[in-house]
Structure 1
């Protein structure tokens, strides 16, 4: 099961990326996240782990599985019977802005069931994160 949203941001890809990878500050710009706690020191790299607390969801531990600096990263939470992958991508627009795509993929026997149960909440959280990221990057752009 895959869910996604995209939004155009009137800020450079570099600025959007800067906001996006400062994961500890996500609770400042989206109500879909209560806290993000890095479990490893330093910037995000493949293998970095974080603990994420979100309203109405169990706290999850995610590991960065792919990273293209300045462009995209993916982190995953694996449990018996399910994998949740969250993809975050920034692409430059001709006008100097950025198109952001956020995508959540739930797979595995349990993941498919949980994905259906949480479909509306996931859609709402993706929209909140996109809007919050846009506001934060545009407000501090320049």
Structure 2
């Protein structure tokens, strides 16, 4: 995946990071553009499960449907957008450090535009993501390490 890639070390176990990072209800707490996220399927998440994620994009709130393409607790998860003119592709990986006391979290993000989405990706979405991804990782780290979350 090309696009954007950020890595951060978190002083929490991979299990703690996983529990927080993949919880749709927590997404708006650590992702700056996320307004809300909700599962669209019953039961536990798995490859093929879908989420409705609403984000601020520019001045608008844009709902998108994301589908898990990988779901391997507590190691990795991946999602891709399945509707709308802008479709994100995300991959997250959690690597244990110090015998599982800390975790390296790597996040990769890219976008594909369909129709008018091609223009939106080049004018708005990529610049917003370039600024937001490192901020999101710092917010994730702060929530997990200093606010007693998970």
TM-score by length of 1: 0.84
* Ranges in structure 2 where 5+ consecutive residues have no aligned partner: none
Partner of 1:132: 139
1:98 aligned onto 2:103: yes
- Residue deviations 1:106-126, cap 9 Å, x none? 246756654432222002221
**Alpha-carbon distance in structure 2 between the residues aligned to 1:34 and 1:76:** 18
Cα distance, 1:29–1:73 mapped onto 2, change above 3 Å: same
- The answer to whether the 8 Å contact 1:21/1:44 transfers is no
Structure 1 unaligned residues grouped into runs of 5+: none
Q: Is the 8 A contact 1:4 1:123 kept in 2?
A: no
Of 78-87 and 41-50, more deviation after overlay is shown by 78-87
Deviation at 1:132, TM superposition (A): 1.6
The more displaced of 58-67 and 88-97 is 88-97
Specify the SS of the correspondent of 1:136: helix
In structure 2, relative to structure 1, the CA distance for the partners of 1:40 and 1:102 (3 Å cut) is same
Aligned to 2:13: 12
2:66 — aligned with what?
A: 62
Deviations 1:87-137 (A, max 9, x none): 111111236311111111224675665443222200222123211211122
**SS at 1:55 equivalent:** strand
3-state SS of 1:42 partner: coil
Name 1:25's counterpart in structure 2.
26
Residue 88, structure 1, aligned to residue 95, structure 2: no
Q: What TM-score, normalized to structure 2?
A: 0.80
Q: Residues 120 and 14 from structure 1, CA distance in 2 versus in 1: closer, same or farther, beyond 3 angstroms? A: same
- Is the aligned partner of 1:120 residue 2:150? no
Aligned partner of residue 38 in structure 2, secondary structure: strand
Mapped partners of 2:97, 2:143: distance in 1: 18
